[in-house]
Amino acid sequence: MSVAPALTATNLFKTYGSVVALNGADLQLYPGEVLAVVGDNGAGKSTLIKCISGAEVPDSGEITLAGDVVKFHRPQDGRHAGIETVYQTLAVAPALDIAANLYLGRELRKPGPLGSIFRMLDNGAMKRESKSHIADLGISTIQNIGQAVETLSGGQRQAVAVARAATFSSKVIILDEPTAALGVRESNQVLKLIERLRDRGLPVILISHNMPQVFEVADRIQVQRLGKRAGVVTPKTHQMNEVVAIMTGALKVEEKDQTLQPVR
Amino acid sequence: MSLSAAEVEFQSNKGPEPLKERLQAKLHQYPSISPVMVLLISGAVFWILNPNFKDPFNLSLVVQQVAVVGAVAVGQTIIILTAGIDLSCGAIAVFASMVMGRTAFANHLPGWQSLIIGLLVGTAAGAFNGFLVTKIKLPPFIVTLGTFNIFNALTLLYATGRDIQASEMNSTLVWMGTTFKAGRFQITLGVILMLLMYLVLSYALRFTAWGRHVYATGDDVEAARLAGIETKRVIFSVYMVAGLIFALAAWILIGRTGAASAINGIDLNLDSITAVVIGGTSLFGGRGRIIGSFYGAVIVGVFRDGLTLAGLPPYYQSLAVGILVITAVTIDQWIRKANK
């Protein structure tokens, strides 16, 4: 039985001057799965997800979201379509509180003339909503929604960033090295969060260099090499060293050994 | 007094760390606490030194004197909140006042038309700064150092070596100098306009998405951009709005000095930064309350006035202001360390 993919990228090409970043890259993401994208530096991971999120425009190729062909020109386009990205750099404003960060750039205004004429923010509603979103995700370490983000640990900050993405992404969530700036314990918190997002049915693309983490949470692993897909495997079918071998080109995987269909 | 001293003793006995950290955290949460404390304490000291200090006439004078710098500080604050700085704010205000004065005097325009042209020129000058900062991507310090000289030169060229006196202008332009009694206090319309500017900008910063974006942009520009805020547009808007505010301050300036002059208000550039810094707004952006700048401006006014009444020579005023600025920035650094 075949499931319709939540997102596909087909035959994407992208060059920067003479540098070929994407050389016919493909990707299929299915509902409710964590797809890890791994690859050496310059393999085109970042460019691939930038094309998907709208931060870059591919030179050619096609992207579909829930079956419809989409064309993004700015990150906002991807965002409006329901694709949210979490960056490794803990992209939160330290002095603002958690609720303000969750709604940053998408603030709610009060109903009636207070909101439409005086542009007044509805802080109460944003606090209430944030609280329930945070609770939904099971982020129990965050106590006070009015707390400034700078009083939180790195892991909690990233949890806020993930919560923001989860709150507003209806279709796909992309995590670009979400644990790169975090310690071991904090990384585990974020990984737990990723699993919870998947369990809620949201498809996740995880970019990571950290093989143990990838093997812990990914349902399928897409290996990028030289701007295209070198293969898609799963933690069950392949070992960590085999994945690294595919990354470096030492190992080739035949189409029949790949896992191109969803495993969940 | 003795009770609170005893409390402090008691808490510090439990260990010096918690009290210090609690204080740090509180100051961090409410950045206006320290300027208000300074204001109250210095007021009390000057009152003791010379009882005439508390005279309503004297206090009214202090407030009237800080109206212009207080108004300019409103614009300076929103710029500093984005981690920028405007060294040209006084030059913009003086330029705008000269445009208001000369269009009324030389071109015989009605006062309200001169006023609107002056406000537009100020806004355009601010937008020019904003353009250089966001589009040409130059550091705000350099941009406004340059435009400070440019606007100064334009003012002198345009002024043709002559001040415009109040008698040569339409009454609309000097309207802000009108005084009225409020109880035993003498208030000018300029003071009211300044307070209104604080009210409006406080509201915009606290209760609108624009204000939140100003804070977020100053706090961490990259994080704000990744969160989907058009940070360049925010920064540009801040410089433009500040330009309008400087032009409104120019209107107050004409009312206060009774003239449009190329040399009045040239100290505003640095005095406004002084007020903002003493008011607890961080020069690194993203932190501070606009009302703090009002306290900052009043503190400088109170020190200048109080030291004069205490019979000290004027250069002690500069000394005191210098110490205030350095103390304020030291406290800011210390507070910022609280959560690092």
Q: Domain residue spans in chain A?
A: 7-94+171-257
Q: What is the pLDDT of residues B231-278, one digit of tens each?
A: 999 999 999 999 999 999 999 999 999 888 888 877 899 999 999 999
Would the pLDDT of B4 be above 80? no
The tokens of A175 are what? 């995590």
Question: Residue B271's CB: how many other CB atoms inside 10 A?
Answer: 24
Q: Give the residue among B158, B169, B176, B172 at the shortest CA–CA distance from B262.
A: B158
Number of domains in chain B: 1
Q: Give the residue among A34, A87, A77 at the shortest CA–CA distance from A52.
A: A77
Asked if A104 and B227 come within 8 Å (Cβ–Cβ), the reply is yes
Q: What is the pLDDT of residues B34-69, one digit of tens each?
A: 888 889 999 999 999 999 998 999 999 999 999 999
Asked if B209 and A164 come within 8 Å (Cβ–Cβ), the reply is no
**Could you give the ipTM of this predicted complex?**
0.81
Question: Is residue B287, in this structure, part of any structural domain at all?
Answer: yes
* Stated length of chain B: 340
Chain A residues near residue B339 by CB distance under 8 angstroms: 94, 148, 150-151
DSSP H or E stretch at residue B185:
strand B185-188
**In whole angstroms, what is the distance from residue A236 CA to residue A199 CA?**
19
Torsion B43-B47-B53-B55 (CA) sign: positive
Using DSSP bridges, classify how beta strands A34-39 and A204-207 pair: parallel, antiparallel or unpaired: parallel
Q: What is the pLDDT of residue B27?
A: 77
Residue identified by tokens 């009312």 is B255
With contact defined as beta carbons under 8 Å apart, do B25 and A148 qualify? no
**In whole angstroms, what is the distance from residue A150 CA to residue A157 CA?**
8
Residue identified by tokens 């205004």 is A109
The tokens of A227 are what? 């701007």
Q: What is the pLDDT of residues A119-158, one digit of tens each?
A: 899 988 999 988 888 887 777 667 788 888 888 888 888 8
Residue A14 pairs in a beta bridge with A22
Chain A residues near residue B222 by CB distance under 8 angstroms: 89, 91
Please report, for the domain that includes residue B262, its CATH number. Answer: 1.10.3470
Of A87, A118, A151, the CB nearest to B339: A151
**In whole angstroms, what is the distance from residue A64 CA to residue A66 CA?**
6
Question: Is residue B15, in this structure, part of any structural domain at all?
Answer: no
Chain B residues near residue A100 by CB distance under 8 angstroms: 212, 216
With contact defined as beta carbons under 8 Å apart, do B80 and B272 qualify? no
With contact defined as beta carbons under 8 Å apart, do B225 and B231 qualify? yes
Residues with Cβ within 8 Å of B84's Cβ and at least 6 positions away in sequence, in order, are B133, B140, B218, B235, B238, B239, B285
Helical spans, DSSP H, in A29-183: 45-53, 75-80, 98-102, 113-116, 123-136, 154-168
Interface-testing mutation among B201, B212, B231, with chain A (most A C-beta atoms within 10 A): B212
Residue-number span of the structural domain to which B154 is assigned? 31-337
| Amino acid identity, position B87 | L
Question: Is residue B123, in this structure, part of any structural domain at all?
Answer: yes
Q: What is the pLDDT of residue A216?
A: 93
Q: What is the pLDDT of residues A160-219, one digit of tens each?
A: 888 888 888 879 999 998 888 888 888 888 888 899 889 888 999 999 988 999 999 999
Question: Is residue B6, in this structure, part of any structural domain at all?
Answer: no
Q: What is the pLDDT of residues A28-55, one digit of tens each?
A: 999 989 999 999 888 888 899 889 988 8
Using DSSP bridges, classify how beta strands B179-182 and B185-188 pair: parallel, antiparallel or unpaired: antiparallel
Helical spans, DSSP H, in chain B: 2-13, 16-29, 33-49, 56-81, 89-105, 111-134, 140-159, 171-174, 189-207, 209-219, 221-226, 231-257, 268-278, 290-309, 315-337
**In whole angstroms, what is the distance from residue B28 CA to residue A94 CA?**
12
Question: Is residue B24, in this structure, part of any structural domain at all?
Answer: no
For residue B338, name the pLDDT band (cuts at 50, 70, 90).
low
Q: What is the pLDDT of residue B294?
A: 96
Residues with Cβ within 8 Å of A74's Cβ and at least 6 positions away in sequence, in order, are A54
Burial class (CB in 10 A: 0-12, 13-18, 19+), B316: middle
Would the pLDDT of A1 be above 60? no
CATH number of this structure's domain A7-94+171-257, picked from the four choices 3.60.20.10, 3.40.50.300, 3.40.350.10, 3.40.50.720: 3.40.50.300
Q: Which of residues 175-234 of B touch A (CB under 8 A)?
A: 203, 207-210, 212-213, 215-216, 219-220, 222-224, 226-229
Residue A207 pairs in a beta bridge with A37, A176
